Structure 1
Amino acid sequence: MRSSALSSVVLRRGLLAGAAVTATLVLSACGGDGTSSGTGMNHGGTSSTSDAPASAAAGAAPSNDADVTFAQSMIEHHRQAIEMAAMADGRASDAEVKDLATKVRAAQQPEIDTMTQWLTAWGKPAAMPSMGGHGTDHGSMPGMMSEKDMAKLEDAQGAAFDKQFLALMIAHHEGAVEVAQEETAQGSSPDAKTLAQKIMTDQQAEIATMKKILEGR
């Protein structure tokens, strides 16, 4: 009986030892997987790092020089159009001219705000670089009025104002359409190109309207 009991104890110890060895091997294997997984995580880290620029690029508005020039030019262009439209208050006599001036101011200020935000995101100034130390060269932008043109419009009243306003705003809009066309052809920012197309559509429609009003005089 003692021999049988002893054999039983030895057997249990052998089984326990075997289990311990098995556990050690399993843990060792897991450790190996951990190392392999660690290497995999390093690869994953590399993959995440390579994805980071793409993510950053997606978060930043894509732009090129044409987009920047378009936004800076159109901001200046719109500001002058708003200034011209503001002159209609107390000077215009035609209801259609007054209505058009109101629409110009309502449409173009939000576009100025939008383009200013783009330039800030692109790390560019909203104002165009000064030309020759004399401020913005309006003459270099299509459709921009000279100081003399603006002074003459400001001095006009009634029907004379209406006629001058329409003639000058037609030329101003045609210049804006030209600037927008350059953006659609050369720009890379989808948002800027979309706005350029909108400006072309809106202002070409307003040009047609102004020409009809002017022809009826």
Structure 2
Amino acid sequence: MRRAIVVAALALALATTAAGAVAVALGAASVTSESTDAPPAHAALGDVSPDDYCYVEAMIYYRVEETELARTLLRKDGVSADVSAHAQELLARDAAELDEFREWYVSWADARPVEPPEEGVCAGHGTDHAQMPGMPSWSRQRALADAAPPDAEREFVGILRAQNEGLAALVTLIIEADPHPRVAESAERVLAEASVDLEALERLAAALR
């Protein structure tokens, strides 16, 4: 019960962020944790550091932001087939990854630092991770929401390029910081995905010029 209360409090804290959808996503995880007596799937994986937890929390923010950007674009008429296909692929991948990260978020809750770290790989992210590398500003999110294709597609691709570059930089620091084995495995996969995504986004950007 105590863990469920902790996770619910974390979700409430996240509700004030630009990605309010993050709180909704994490709230679902807290309900699942409270409703079962089974031990959390990752509880016995060994020592988990605040940096490990930061990786999980950061990835949730990156993936939820990416999901919201893709949904914003796909609600528009006239989006090109190639950009639409890329957005759809991101939605499917992010949904699967978020299921895993939510589980870690719940079972590793005790590793969450009480205050935002002032040093280390997650320093400077702020209380809501809005200052993470590559996260779009509110004005840029608004520009995407207000634009019509092809300008909306250019904005979408540009935002994702910056976000993937920032994500890759952060994940590289995580890998170099000797993370938990499960974090290291996940981070290597995410870094490879970011490389593939950046190549795809470069191709899309060239086609939209």
Relative to the length of structure 1, the TM-score reads: 0.65
Deviations 1:4-59 (A, max 9, x none): xxxxxxxxxxxxxxxxxxxxxxxxxxxxxxxxxxxxxxxxxxxxxxxxxxxxx993
Q: Does 1:156 find its partner at 2:147? A: yes
Residues 90 and 175 (structure 1), Cα distance of their counterparts in 2 relative to 1, 3 Å cut: same
For 1:5-154, list aligned pairs within 5 A.
59-91=44-76, 93-124=79-110, 136-138=128-130, 140-154=131-145
Given residue 119 of structure 1, which amino acid in structure 2 is its aligned partner? Answer: Y
Query: Which runs of no fewer than 5 residues in structure 1 stay unpaired?
Result: 1-56
Deviations 1:135-186 (A, max 9, x none): 6141x20010111111110111110111111111111111111121122111
CA distance in 2: counterparts of 1:145 and 1:103, whole angstroms: 20
How many residues in Structure 1 have an aligned counterpart in Structure 2? Answer: 158
Fraction of identical pairs, as percent: 18
Given residue 200 of structure 2, which amino acid in structure 1 is its aligned partner? Answer: T
Partner of 1:207: 198
Q: Aligned-pair distance for 1:129?
A: 6.3
CA distance in 2: counterparts of 1:81 and 1:142, whole angstroms: 14
RMSD, aligned α-carbons: 2.7
SS at match of 1:63: coil
Relative to the length of structure 2, the TM-score reads: 0.67
Q: Aligned-pair distance for 1:187?
A: 4.1
Residues 62 and 153 (structure 1), Cα distance of their counterparts in 2 relative to 1, 3 Å cut: same
Partner of 1:173: 164
CA contact (8 A) 1:66 1:187 kept: no
